[in-house]
Amino acid sequence: MSAPIFILAGEPSGDALAARMMVAIETKYGKQNWIGVGGDKMLAQGLKPLADMDQLSIVGFSAVLTAYSKLSALADNLVGQIVAHNPKLVMTVDAKGFSIRLAARLKRRTTRTNMHIPIVHTVAPTVWAWGAWRRHKFARHLDGLLCLFPHEPAFFEGLDVKASFISHPEAWAIEHGLKKPAFAAQQSHMETHKLCLLPGSRRSEVSLLLPRMLAALDILHEQGIALDVTLPTVSTVHEQVEHISANHGIAHDISINTGREAFLTAMITADVMMAASGTVTLQTALHAVPGVVCYATSPLSAFIGRRLVNMENVVLPNALLGRPIYPFLFQEQATPQALAASVQNILADEQARSKASASARALTDMMRGGGNNFDDMVAQAMTPWLATSLKDNRSEKA
């Protein structure tokens, strides 16, 4: 059996992206022996797990500080396992803080023993939003960096890392023709508006944001706005979402579903959304869903974040297009009253759908970057590290 590829993801979005990359690599370079850390989607693609992905699902500066010793021990354990398996390549997907710590420790270990295991990370650090100095740390410990946005490789020019743009998988999954062109606010005979709630994929996000969203629904109901509410979520927080909704007392008004199909159905039918800041805002923007974005974290994390992060670039579609696609409510601003008011404003705006559709088209073109498809762009970017594997496979078949 050929040398394995170690691959790691730390949360559901990373799991989905890593699984997609596994497929792209095997399509071009043949069947691989995958080991590492991932979720259900990576396991379905043949990953042999070396640790539980849930150990990495930590968000917020203060939470990371609290869990430092546990994460440090996990990084050391994985470095030991990587060296023992001697993979031909190490791939990390998102989970930037842990991934770069793992890469740094692995580089130190392999340098001492004269081993060389190339390390390629996917999803560049958002140096255009905060911490431009971080690009030097990534370049120092990585051999390759795969970027989802076309402007990112330029930030790493002149540094000792090969940065490549691979496009964004969500940009290839969009069918704008599936979206209904008519917006509810333009049809006075429509009594019910379709609202999608997206409180996040991490437990800490759901616990802080979902109660505020549900309270905003109460306000909208009290004002006589009829809503058909859907909440597509992920399996890791499904039970938590149902528990919070039931305790709030309006669970019967919300359709809670899990899975990709549930999410896509919600995107196609939604008139408006409330969402946690994150990758999901890119998905909603690509699907031309107007809405409001919010986020809340611990007081310490908020204090640090306000001093390190450019808040104008927190919401991905806003940062990429350079204009406020979505209003952003952070921490104490993310009140039920403010969320409800934002939804009301969108429902009253007859141009909301057309503006969202224009933004969706612009984002799609930007994130495809002129390529043919995501798999081809991933395979091309991986050539420096996997071309030998392709030659070996061809030799074996011959």
What is residue 131's three-state secondary structure? coil
Per-residue pLDDT, 175: 56
Strands 119-122 and 192-198: unpaired
Range of the structural domain that residue 69 is part of: 5-167+369-397
Averaged confidence pLDDT in the chain: 87
- Domain identity same for 282 and 386: no
For residues 124 and 182, state if they share a domain.
no
Q: Are residues 385 and 346 in the same domain?
A: no
Determine which of 6-20, 119-133, 215-229, 351-365 has the lowest per-residue pLDDT on average: 119-133
Please indicate, yes or no, whether residues 111 and 61 belong to a single structural domain of this protein.
yes
Q: How far apart are CA 318 and CA 149, in angstroms?
A: 13
Residues 186 and 318 in one domain: yes
Share of the chain above pLDDT 70, in %: 86
The CA distance from 158 to 137, in Å, is: 14
Could you tell me if 145 and 124 are in contact, meaning their C-beta atoms sit under 8 angstroms apart? yes
The reply to whether 148 and 218 lie within a common domain is: no
What pTM value is reported for the model? 0.75
Tokens of 232: 């597509």
Most confident range, picked from 170-184, 189-203, 340-354: 340-354
Counting the structural domains of the chain, the total is 2
Average pLDDT on 328-353 reads 94
* E-only strand ranges, the chain: 5-9, 34-37, 48-49, 89-93, 119-122, 144-147, 162-165, 192-198, 226-233, 254-258, 272-276, 291-295, 328-330
Give the model's pLDDT for residue 260. 84
**Mean pLDDT calculated for residue range 368-376:** 89
Residue 245 β-bridge partners: none
In this structure, the answer to whether residues 24 and 88 fall within a common structural domain is: yes
Average pLDDT over residues 263-288: 92
Q: How much is the pLDDT for 60?
A: 45
98 and 188 share a domain? Answer: no
pLDDT, tens digit, for every residue of 115-146? 999 999 999 887 765 556 778 989 999 999 99
Asked if residue 375 has pLDDT above 60, the reply is yes
More confident site: 214 or 174: 214
Same domain for 32 and 131, yes or no, is yes
pLDDT tens digits, one per residue of 303-324: 776 766 666 778 889 988 989 9
* The pLDDT of residue 57: 64
Do 120 and 196 lie in one domain? The reply is no
C-alpha count within 13 angstroms, C-beta hemisphere, residue 366:
20
pLDDT, residue 202, reads 86
Per cent of the chain over pLDDT 90 is 62
211-230 per-residue burial string, b: 16 or more CB within 10 A, e: under 16: bbbbbbbebbeeeebebbbb
User: Looking at per-residue confidence, does 187 or 230 come out higher?
Assistant: 230
Phi, psi values for residue 37, rounded to 5°? -135, 125
Q: Are 163 and 212 in a shared domain?
A: no
pLDDT tens per residue across span 44-59: 999 999 999 988 865 4
Same domain, yes or no: 349 and 381: no
Looking at the predicted structure, is the pLDDT value of residue 251 above 70?
Answer: no
**Residue 251 sits in a domain of what CATH number?**
3.40.50.2000
Of 196-200, 234-238, 280-284, 392-396, which gets the smallest average pLDDT?
392-396
- What pLDDT, on the 0 to 100 scale, is given for residue 387? 85
